[in-house]
């Protein structure tokens, strides 16, 4: 893979991180703002859930909103790090990708045992996408080279050529 192609791949991954973070921010806002309202509506409409209480269900929705907000911030930071070709961005993306691969693999086993075909499909997609990110950011030499610091000598030589 050439340097220009590797740079394009990294830029696409950064944009995908931002798209995922934007979706996460929207979902977090929906859970944080609408969660308690939805919880009280669910408890009112479904008497069997009245034992949980609207407050408890609302707290669950708020906790999910906070989790989504935190994951969205991580996605935003990862995208920034990848776009700016910072090695910490690559490492953060790798950590998230490895965790996602493990999570999706466990979920795949669970959904395969339950024989739920749509869940099996989406968990396979999750494992495959995480695997592609890991392969690109960890095992493609040209992509990894983009994140290595440029020696000071090379920077000075480039300035003198101008």
d(CA 138, CA 71): 22
Q: What is the pLDDT of residue 66?
A: 95
CA 129 to chain centre: 11
Q: What is the pLDDT of residue 90?
A: 94
Q: What is the pLDDT of residue 131?
A: 94
d(CA 20, CA 8): 18
Angle at 137 between CA 74 and CA 11, to 5 degrees: 70
Give the domain ranges of the chain: 3-150
**CA 148 to each of CA 84, 102, 128, 135, 142: distance values in angstroms, whole numbers, following the listed order:** 12, 27, 27, 17, 10
Output the DSSP codes for 54-121.
Answer: HHHHHHHHHHHHHHHHHHHHHHHHHHHHHHTT-HHHHHHHHHHHHHHHHHHHHHHHHHHHTT-HHHHH
Q: What is the pTM of this model?
A: 0.77
The per-residue pLDDT string of the chain (162 residues; one tens digit each, 9 = 90 and over) reads 788 899 999 999 999 999 999 999 999 999 898 887 777 777 677 766 666 665 677 788 889 999 999 999 999 999 999 999 999 999 999 999 999 999 988 888 887 777 667 778 888 898 999 999 999 999 999 999 999 887 766 556 566 665
Q: What is the pLDDT of residue 153?
A: 67
């Amino acid at each position: 893979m050439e340097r220009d192609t590797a740079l394009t791949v990294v830029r696409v991954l950064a944009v995908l991180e931002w798209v995922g973070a934007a979706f996460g921010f929207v979902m977090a806002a929906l859970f944080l703002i609408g969660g308690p309202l939805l919880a009280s509506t669910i408890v009112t409409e479904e008497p069997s859930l009245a034992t949980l209480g609207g407050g408890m269900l609302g707290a669950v929705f708020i906790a999910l909103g906070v989790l989504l907000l935190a994951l969205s911030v991580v996605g935003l930071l990862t995208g920034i790090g990848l776009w700016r070709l910072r090695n910490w961005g690559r490492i953060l993306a790798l950590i998230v990708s490895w965790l996602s691969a493990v999570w999706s693999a466990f979920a795949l086993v669970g959904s395969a045992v339950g024989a739920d075909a749509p869940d099996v499909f989406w968990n396979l997609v999750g494992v495959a996408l995480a695997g592609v990110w890991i392969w690109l950011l960890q095992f493609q030499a040209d992509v990894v080279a983009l994140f290595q610091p440029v020696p000071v000598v090379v920077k000075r030589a480039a300035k003198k050529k101008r």
